[in-house]
Chains A and B, each alone.
Chain A
Amino acid sequence: MSKEKKEKKEKKVVLVLGAIGSDIHYAGIQILEHAFIGAGFKVINIGVRRPPEKFIQVAKECNANAIIVSSLYGQAGQDCEGMRQECIELELGDILLYIGGKLVVGDVLPPWREIKKQFKDYGFDRVYPAERDSVSRAIRDLRKDLGLYKRMKRRRVKGKGK
């Protein structure tokens, strides 16, 4: 196998991670960063209070596979409704967009399935509530969405008979 091919094969999945809009919640993305690194991904944590454009710009520069948006302050709707369109305009239309957190505010919150639909309509591929197991689910979904299980399977099959 050529050196480039080997490097490409061993290349880690790159994630851009941050808290969007005016959200200052920092501890959560530190925990996410730690979890994603532990799962074998490369993480570029752009920090808190980042506009959508910053996520997309960094994703372009680093050839990221996915953008992971965290939002705990309830105003993600306003921050994110145009994000997929911006990705398309900046020629990153196919990038995986994930979002998780406390995504809405209100005296009576709509049921989760409605919140999920709202963000899926904005163009997010996966939407998660602010629960501890959302992290492990996101890791599993990333592997699925990026076809990593197939890659892992292919490697195992190739290894047989050697």
Chain B
Amino acid sequence: MKIKVSDTRIEERDLQKIRKKVLQFWPTGKEVDLESAIDFHRRLPKNKITFEKLLIGKNTGKTFIQPRGGVALTDDLIKLLRALEKAGADFLPVTIDSFTRENRYDAAQEGILRSKQSPKIPVLNGYPAVNAGVKECRRIIESVNVPVEIRHGTPDARLLAEITLAAGFTDFEGGAITYVIPYSAEVPLKESIKNWQYVDRLVGLYQENGITINRESFGALTGTLVSPCIAIAIGVIEALLAAKQGVKSISLGYGQCGNLVQDIAAIKALVSLSEEYMHSFNYKDVLITTVFHQWMGGFPENEYQAAGVIALGTLVGALSKSNKIITKSIHEAIGIPNIESNVAGVKISKQIINMLDHQGAFSNSDIEQEVEIIKQETRCMIDKTMELGRGDIAKGVILAFEKGVIDIPFAPNRFNLGKILTARDNCGAIRFLKVGNLPFSKNIIDFHKAKIRERAKKEKRKANFEMVVDDIYAISEGKLIG
């Protein structure tokens, strides 16, 4: 069997020929003007550009949060996106409706009309961006302050890409495998590969004009017991296909499986292998980032249980140092979330991310080291207590508290010396700001001094009671370290 499709880069003149056809698939295609699109992108502030934000995030070890979401009418969509941004979303979505995903623009149009007639009864499960057109889509970009991505599941996303890229979206999800094999029954790969090469080559065209659009591969696939190797192999392949067409910024997705070790290992393997293959194919200037999808399978109906699932996904995404986490809502089991339940998913995720911000995956040796320190400190206190009591624990305890050999921070009891002060170090671990009379060896005292000094230096402030007070309030204010 001779396969006609190939991974060679599409020539620009061939692209422009096909573009003429694609832009006629629906009347809004007429609104696409490459020059004005590039000009619009050039004038976008950096905070609205996916590539710029991902680059900073990757360099600073940050894990971003992004929800999903889309509704039929632009004004309602803007209201939703603003609520999600306010809740802490670092990147925003525009999730496309299912009619558009099947290129049924006439059905999407009917959906828009019905939505306008009865605004309180949602008809579409996402935003019909093709029918909305470039100008209307631009309103979305202009109404928010973070980058916006088109999220969907579209085998033939050529016109969708044309409209939304022209409108100022800086991130476009999908690929020849990830948006076709799980999202269509009939579409052959030889067709989907060509369609997605078009999308990647269009991104390449923007790139040639100095505009970097990010492409995201949907590694979560069917969300049904997908082994990491399948997700990663397909992700790497889509990255190579995209890079061939001139894409310079690629995110590779992975859906949470559920076992902590496996999920953290999967992200590590994804990072390692994608870099390895990109290098071996000589793509050295492509930014690769990772996207961790919170559990993509069935959810419990109970909102609190759903919150638990969301929280676990965030924990793993954070520990694995994924660059971005896609959140779920607490109504996932029921259907398309309303604003409140979607916002809840974002807030649950942000609280956890902010508390794990300065932490990351740990090895057994990290734990062993900390065990050793804790054991040494504890032995100092117990042994001194025994010494003071001359072998009698009861007598020892009384003397130990009197001398501050045992000292409890913030205890009301007048027999507690209250000479110690504790605060967090740069990773959030509790260290001693003042050792008081605790009977620590010099190396332990120096260890704590160094940790506190590191934090004071990083935060450019003194290590004093203010630091302690800030740490006391921190979690209620949505972070771990004050």
Which residues from chain A sit less than 8 Å from chain B, CB to CB? 24, 26-27, 30-31, 34, 47-49, 132
Residues on B with C-beta less than 8 A from A24 are: 412
B472–A31 touching, CB < 8 Å: yes
With A31-B472, A34-B465, A34-B469 as given contacts, are A26 and B477 in contact (CB-CB < 8 Å)?
A: no
Interface SS majority for chain A: mixed
B472–A27 touching, CB < 8 Å: yes
- Which 6 residue pairs of A and B lie closest in terms of their CB atoms, listed nearest first? A26-B412, A27-B410, A48-B412, A31-B469, A132-B473, A34-B465
Asked whether B3 is an interface residue with its Cβ less than 8 Å from the other chain, the reply is: no
Residues on A with C-beta less than 8 A from B473 are: 132
Q: How many A-B residue pairs have CB under 8 A?
A: 17
Q: Interface size for chain B: under 10, 10 to 19, 20 to 34, or 35 or more residues?
A: under 10
Residues on A with C-beta less than 8 A from B412 are: 24, 26, 47-49
A34 to B410, CA, bound (A): 13
Residues on A with C-beta less than 8 A from B411 are: 26
| Minimal beta-carbon separation of A84 from chain B (angstroms) | 26
| Minimal beta-carbon separation of A2 from chain B (angstroms) | 38
| Minimal beta-carbon separation of A59 from chain B (angstroms) | 21
A132 to B476, CA, bound (A): 10
Interface SS majority for chain B: helix
7 contacts between A and B (CB under 8 A): A24-B412, A26-B411, A27-B410, A31-B472, A47-B412, A132-B473, A132-B477
A27 to B465, CA, bound (A): 12
Residues on A with C-beta less than 8 A from B476 are: 132
| Minimal beta-carbon separation of B320 from chain A (angstroms) | 33
Residues on A with C-beta less than 8 A from B477 are: 132
What residue in chain B is nearest A26 (Cβ atoms)?
B412
What residue in chain A is nearest B409 (Cβ atoms)?
A27
A120 to B469, CA, bound (A): 29
Among B412, B473, B476, the most chain A Cβ lie within 10 Å of the Cβ of B412
A155 to B465, CA, bound (A): 32
Residues on B with C-beta less than 8 A from A30 are: 410
Q: Apart from A27-B472, A31-B469, what 14 extra A-B contacts exist at CB < 8 Å?
A: A24-B412, A26-B410, A26-B411, A26-B412, A27-B410, A30-B410, A31-B472, A34-B465, A47-B412, A48-B412, A49-B412, A132-B473, A132-B476, A132-B477
| Minimal beta-carbon separation of B477 from chain A (angstroms) | 7
Residues on B with C-beta less than 8 A from A34 are: 465, 469
| Minimal beta-carbon separation of A111 from chain B (angstroms) | 21
A34 to B411, CA, bound (A): 16
| Minimal beta-carbon separation of B273 from chain A (angstroms) | 46
Residues on A with C-beta less than 8 A from B472 are: 27, 31
Residues on A with C-beta less than 8 A from B469 are: 31, 34
Residues on B with C-beta less than 8 A from A49 are: 412
Residues on B with C-beta less than 8 A from A26 are: 410-412
What residue in chain B is nearest A48 (Cβ atoms)?
B412
A34 to B473, CA, bound (A): 15
What residue in chain B is nearest A35 (Cβ atoms)?
B469
Contact code string B453-477 (vs A, CB < 8 Å = 1, else 0):
0000000000001000100110011
What residue in chain A is nearest B418 (Cβ atoms)?
A30
Q: Which of B407-421 contact A (CB under 8 A)?
A: 410-412
Residues on B with C-beta less than 8 A from A31 are: 469, 472
Residues on B with C-beta less than 8 A from A47 are: 412
